[in-house]
Amino acid sequence: MTPDAINTAAEILTNLRTRTNSQRLPLGDFPATCHPKLLDDADDIQNALRLRLASHGLGA
């Protein structure tokens, strides 16, 4: 996955979690370019998501 795809995935997931940008996208409609193909890609998305959520005061 490209860094842009990882950031896009993390941004979408952050918006869903924080309910910002009125985003209510079902995960089935998640862009294909944002689907992790490898476990390392999933870990990269999770790490980016964790950082974003922490910046919103969520998670640890």
**C-alpha dist (Å) from residue 14 to 29, 35, 36:** 15, 15, 16
- What residue segments make up the domains of the chain, in order of their start? 3-24+33-55
Q: What percent of the chain has pLDDT over 90?
A: 52
pTM for this model (two decimals) = 0.80
- pLDDT at position 24 is 65
CA distance 13 to 15: 5
- pLDDT at position 21 is 62
Question: Does pLDDT of 17 surpass 90?
Answer: no
pLDDT digits (tens, 9 = 90+) for 20-50: 666 566 666 788 999 999 999 999 999 999 9
Does 17 or 9 have the greater pLDDT score? 9
